[in-house]
Structure 1
Amino acid sequence: MKYLLIMQIDSDVLEALTKEEMAAVQKGHGAFMDETRESGEFIGTQALGALGQGALIRVEDGAQRVVTDGPYAEAKEFMGGYYMVDVESKERAIELARSLPDASIPGLAVEVRPIMFEAGFDF
């Protein structure tokens, strides 16, 4: 079954990391990609731009459409990127998520969500 391992980011937490800590995070992501490619579980990954680089479209006051520059939510955390993996079970997806460096940094998180439908991806 395919899962998204969604990295929930807090910019303040990332900015507080030392150069050495950030290098360890990047090295950890490289190792994660190498290991999941080798196991055949890796499908792909994408990192998203900062909140201020996007836009949000929503309906307010009935039918009025509003395009708003970010940030968009009250929470400090936002989806910073994801890995798509194909694993045997939810437990394995959780095991992989726990091995991501983000899951070991206070203030960051990795969300595990099953993919229920997909179309148009040629992985």
Structure 2
Amino acid sequence: MSKYMLIMRGTDHSNAAMLDAIEESMAATREYIEEMLKAGVLLAAEGLDLPSRGVVVDFGAETPVVTDGPYGETKELFGGYFMLDVASKEEAVEWAKRMPAVRGSKIEVRRVAGDDEMPERG
């Protein structure tokens, strides 16, 4: 088994669409979580607060620059994640495809490297 993170990424437009239908969205998400729990693959899941309540610490200059949200030049924002323990990347992708996401959002699927692994170059 391998750990995979399903990273929820949205735009201002897709986040607004989700908030417009928040009751339906939350109900669908609860059902999705129940399916993952029954399948025994869900390790953790968290959503993040609104981008307007966050900050970015940018290390592009000699001295870090702190910018309050929302972040004007950002096209997509990380909104939360699901951590799964599944047999393969393909299984993680299948779970990602079943997520009740609104049109315009994306789910990034990333394997979690083990403690004994170093990232590969390139």
TM-score for the superposition, normalised by structure 1: 0.80
Counterparts in 2 of 1:10 and 1:83: CA distance versus 1, 3 Å: same
**Matching of residue 115 in structure 1 with residue 112 in structure 2:** yes
1:25 aligns with 25
Query: Equivalents in 2 of 1:29, 1:111: separation in Å?
Result: 17
Runs of 4+ residues deviating >6 angstroms:
none
AA aligned to 1:52 is S
What is the CA-CA distance between 1:73 and the residue it aligns to? 6.3
* Identity %, equivalent residues: 32
Query: Equivalents in 2 of 1:114, 1:24: separation in Å?
Result: 30
1:95 aligns with 94
Tell me the alpha carbon deviations over residues 26-64 of structure 1, each in whole angstroms, 9 at most, x when there is no partner.
222111111111111010111111112111112243x21
Asked if the contact 2:18–2:25 (Cα under 8 Å) also holds between the matched residues in 1, the reply is no
1:121 aligns with none
Query: Equivalents in 1 of 2:76, 2:36: separation in Å?
Result: 26
Asked if the contact 2:56–2:69 (Cα under 8 Å) also holds between the matched residues in 1, the reply is yes
Report how many residues are paired. 114
AA aligned to 2:4 is Y
Query: Equivalents in 1 of 2:89, 2:96: separation in Å?
Result: 10
Counterparts in 2 of 1:29 and 1:68: CA distance versus 1, 3 Å: same
TM-score for the superposition, normalised by structure 2: 0.81
Tell me the alpha carbon deviations over residues 75-103 of structure 1, each in whole angstroms, 9 at most, x when there is no partner.
3320100000100000000000000011x
Query: Equivalents in 1 of 2:38, 2:58: separation in Å?
Result: 41
Q: Which runs of 5+ in 2 are unaligned?
A: 116-122
Instruction: Calculate the aligned-residue CA RMSD, in Å.
Output: 2.0
Q: Which runs of 5+ in 1 are unaligned?
A: 119-123
